[in-house]
Amino acid sequence: MPREKSAITPHRSKGRPRTFDRAAALNRALDVFWRRGYEPASVAELCMAMEVNPPSLYAAFGNKAQLFMEAVHHYEKVYWDAAWQLLEEEPDLHRAMAGFFREAARILTSQDAPCGCMVVLGAANVSPDAQDVNDALKALRREGKDCFRHRLRKGVEDADLPSGTDVESLALTLNTVFEGMSVQARDGASQAELERIARTAMALLPARS
Amino acid sequence: MPREKSAITPHRSKGRPRTFDRAAALNRALDVFWRRGYEPASVAELCMAMEVNPPSLYAAFGNKAQLFMEAVHHYEKVYWDAAWQLLEEEPDLHRAMAGFFREAARILTSQDAPCGCMVVLGAANVSPDAQDVNDALKALRREGKDCFRHRLRKGVEDADLPSGTDVESLALTLNTVFEGMSVQARDGASQAELERIARTAMALLPARS
DNA sequence: GACTGTCTGTAGCGAACACTACAGTTATAG
DNA sequence: CTATAACTGTAGTGTTCGCTACAGACAGTC
C-alpha cells in the first residue's frame, strides 16, 4: 500500500533526513503569503509559521521568491483548479459562468481574514528587484482572461450565446469583475455580497438568441 | 496681485526659509508613490525624486506615511475630483456613468508607466505596522462606492432608471468593475481596452423604463 | 568501523530600511 | 547687534531585511 507522501517524506538518498513535513510547511507558507502578500511576509514570519529554521527553508525551497511561486502554484491547484474546470466543462455556458463566479465568491471569502485572490493581489506592490514574481502572477492573470474568452467562444459555437456576441469585450469585462471581486473581498465584502455582484454581472451575458 | 503660492513659499515666521518648492516636491513624491506603491517607494528614492534631503522631507511632511497620505489627497484632487463631480452633476444618469468611466479610462492610463489607481492599488500589500495607511485608502474606496450608490439612487428618483432597479447591487457591481479596471491598467491595458470594458459594463444599467 | 552527503540549529553576514543628531546657515524679532 | 527659530547637508542611528557560514547530527555506502 504505497502512499504518495508520508507525513515525513522518506529519503532513499544518503544524508540526514528532513525532520519536517515539506507539504505541511508549504501550506503554512501559503497561509502567510496569502494573508500578507509577497513582500510584507518576512522570511522570519514564514519560518515561524512553518516551524522551520532559515537554513532548512532555503535548503527545501530555494529562496523566498521560489517559495512564493510554489505556494501560488499550490494555491491555484488547491483552490482554483476545480473552479476553472467547472467553467470549462459545464456544458451550458450560463450555468458554467454562474457556477464559476459562485465558487469564486466562496474561495475569496474562505480565509478567516479578508485577503482576496493571491494571484490578483499577492504581489500588487513589489520592489523593482522582485519584478519576476509580479510577472509570473501577471501571466497567471492573463491565463484567467484567456479562460473566459475561450469559454465564451465555445458558448457562441454551442449557440448558448447569439452569434453576434462581442466575445472579446465580454471576456475582458467579466475578467475585470472577477479581479475587482478580489479587491472587494480584501476590503471585507461577505460571500453573499460577492455573490450578489456576480449575479448582477451575469446580466452581461446575452440570453440564448 | 496676490498669488496663492509662490514658487518658494514665502515665510512670515522666523527662521531660515525653505529652499525648495513644497508643492513641486509633493508632486514628485506623488509620482513615485503612484508608480511604486507605498512600501516599495523608499524614502531614499523619494528624496532623490523630490531633490531634497531626508531632514527636509521630514521637516516638511512629517514622515513617510503622512507624505503618502498627503500625496493621495493631492492625487484625488488633481485627477479624480473632476470625474466624481461629473458623475454627480451630469443630469442624465446614463451619460453621467458613461462619462465617468470614460474619464476613468483616461486617468488610469495617463501615466507613462502602467500603475492603475493609487487608491485601489497604492497600498495593496502593506506590513501590519502600516495598517493605518491601508485603512485610509479603504475609507476612500468606500467613498467611491457610496458615490455610485448615491448617483444611482438619484437616477431612480429622476426616472432615468426604472423604479424597481436594484440600486445596491448595481452600485456594488459598477464599483467592482471600476476597481477591477485598475488591475487591468496596471497589467498594461490600453485606454481603448478600458473604454471597451466600461462600455460593456454600461449594459448593466437598465434603460429608462 | 570510516567515509560521504544532507539536514539541523546557532549565530551572524552585508545591505537596505525609516528616521535623526548635529552643526552650520539664514531668516525674523527685539 | 544679539537672540531665536526654522531649514540645510553630512553622516550617521538602530532595526529589519533576505540569506548563509559553520559545526554538529544523522542517515546510507563501503
Dihedral of CA atoms B154, B155, B157, B160 in degrees, nearest 10, equals 160
Rounded distance between C-alpha atoms, residue B7 and residue B167, angstroms? 47
- B124·A38 Cβ contact <8 A: no
pLDDT at B9 over 60: no
> What pLDDT, on the 0 to 100 scale, is given for residue B13?
80
A44/C9 CA-to-C1' distance in Å: 15
User: In this predicted model, what pLDDT tens digit does every residue of A63-73 receive, in sequence order?
Assistant: 999 999 999 99
- A127·B203 Cβ contact <8 A: no
> What pLDDT, on the 0 to 100 scale, is given for residue A26?
98
A52/D23 CA-to-C1' distance in Å: 19
Shortest CA to C1' contact from B42: nucleotide: C17
Share of chain B residues as helix, strand and coil, in percent rounded to the nearest 5: 65, 0, 35
Rounded distance between C-alpha atoms, residue A94 and residue A87, angstroms? 10
Interface mutation target, options A115, A172, A186, A195, chain B, most CBs of B under 10 Å: A172
> What pLDDT, on the 0 to 100 scale, is given for residue A8?
44
Binned at pLDDT 50, 70 and 90, residue A113 comes out as confident
From chain A, pick out residues whose CB is under 8 angstroms from the CB of B182: 183
pLDDT at B94 over 90: yes
Interface mutation target, options B200, B202, B204, chain A, most CBs of A under 10 Å: B200
A189: helix, coil or strand?
Answer: coil
Name the closest residue (CA) to the C1' of nucleotide D29: A14
**Chain A with chain B: Cβ pairs closer than 8 A:** 134
| Contacts with A137 (C-beta within 8 Å, 6 or more apart), sequence order | A72, A119, A120, A122, A123
A59/D24 CA-to-C1' distance in Å: 17
Compute the average pLDDT of residues A59-64. Answer: 97
Interface mutation target, options A108, A115, A125, chain B, most CBs of B under 10 Å: A125
> What pLDDT, on the 0 to 100 scale, is given for residue B209?
76
Rounded distance between C-alpha atoms, residue A182 and residue A188, angstroms? 10
Near strand D (CB < 7 A), which residues?
A 11-17, 39, 41-45, 53-55, 58, 63-65; B 13-20, 52-56, 59-60, 127
User: In this predicted model, what pLDDT tens digit does every residue of B39-53 receive, in sequence order?
Assistant: 999 999 999 999 999
**How near does any CA of chain B get to the CA of A158, in Å?**
22
- B125·A125 Cβ contact <8 A: yes
B116/C14 CA-to-C1' distance in Å: 35
Residue ranges and CATH numbers for the domains of chain A are: 22-204 (1.10.357.10)
Residue A103 in grid coordinates: 465558487
> What pLDDT, on the 0 to 100 scale, is given for residue A12?
65
Binned at pLDDT 50, 70 and 90, residue B203 comes out as very high
The nearest alpha carbon in chain A to B135 belongs to: A187
Helices and strands counted in chain B (H then E): 10, 0
pLDDT at B75 over 70: yes
B56/D10 CA-to-C1' distance in Å: 13
CB A181 within 8 A of CB B179: no
- B187·A125 Cβ contact <8 A: no
Q: Which DSSP letter does residue A78 get? A: I
| Contacts with A122 (C-beta within 8 Å, 6 or more apart), sequence order | A33, A34, A37, A38, A68, A72, A137, B125
pLDDT at A2 over 70: no
| Average pLDDT score, chain A | 94
Tell me how many degrees the CA angle A57-A26-A75 measures, rounded to the nearest 5. 140
Tell me how many degrees the CA angle A64-A65-A66 measures, rounded to the nearest 5. 95
User: In this predicted model, what pLDDT tens digit does every residue of B140-162 receive, in sequence order?
Assistant: 999 999 999 999 999 999 999 99
From chain A, pick out residues whose CB is under 8 angstroms from the CB of B122: 125
> What pLDDT, on the 0 to 100 scale, is given for residue B116?
95
| Contacts with B49 (C-beta within 8 Å, 6 or more apart), sequence order | B28, B29, B31, B32
> What pLDDT, on the 0 to 100 scale, is given for residue B102?
98
User: In this predicted model, what pLDDT tens digit does every residue of A143-193 receive, in sequence order?
Assistant: 999 999 999 999 999 999 999 999 999 999 999 999 999 999 999 999 999
From chain A, pick out residues whose CB is under 8 angstroms from the CB of B200: 166, 169-170, 172-173, 204
